[in-house]
Amino acid sequence: EPEVTQTPSHQVTQMGQEVILRCVPISNHLYFYWYRQILGQKVEFLVSFYNNEISEKSEIFDDQFSVERPDGSNFTLKIRSTKLEDSAMYFCASKKGGENTEAFFGQGTRLTVV
């Protein structure tokens, strides 16, 4: 069964460093998303991507964040200068076209900023 793949599963980085979280969405999906979940809290939307551009973003997704789909298969989230409060589980999700379809989530990348 096709699945969304995220790498790495766990990343530890020093405050102020740049990190890139990688995702390979399901191949025939059209919509791509990043969410984050701070430990013990709800899942929060960051950004959605469709047709090679940002479709929607939340207030969390500020200038420190960027997304890219560089080669038609990978979908990356970059955090330019990490802060302690960026420590969270980051989920990539993808979705087929059409309204009545669910988003499929990757297994997540746990980011720890020290």
Nearest to 93 by CA among 9, 15, 19, 30: 30
**Is 29 strand, coil or helix?**
coil
DSSP assignment of 57-69 equals E-TT--TTEEEE-
> Which residues are near other proteins by CB under 8 A?
31, 33, 35, 41-45, 48, 50, 55-56, 58, 89, 91, 93, 95, 97-108, 110
Based on CB atoms, which residue is closest to other proteins, 16 or 97? 97
Based on CB atoms, which residue is closest to other proteins, 45 or 65? 45
Give the Cα separation of 93 and 18 in Å (integer). 22
CB of 110 to other proteins, least distance (A): 8
CB of 48 to other proteins, least distance (A): 5
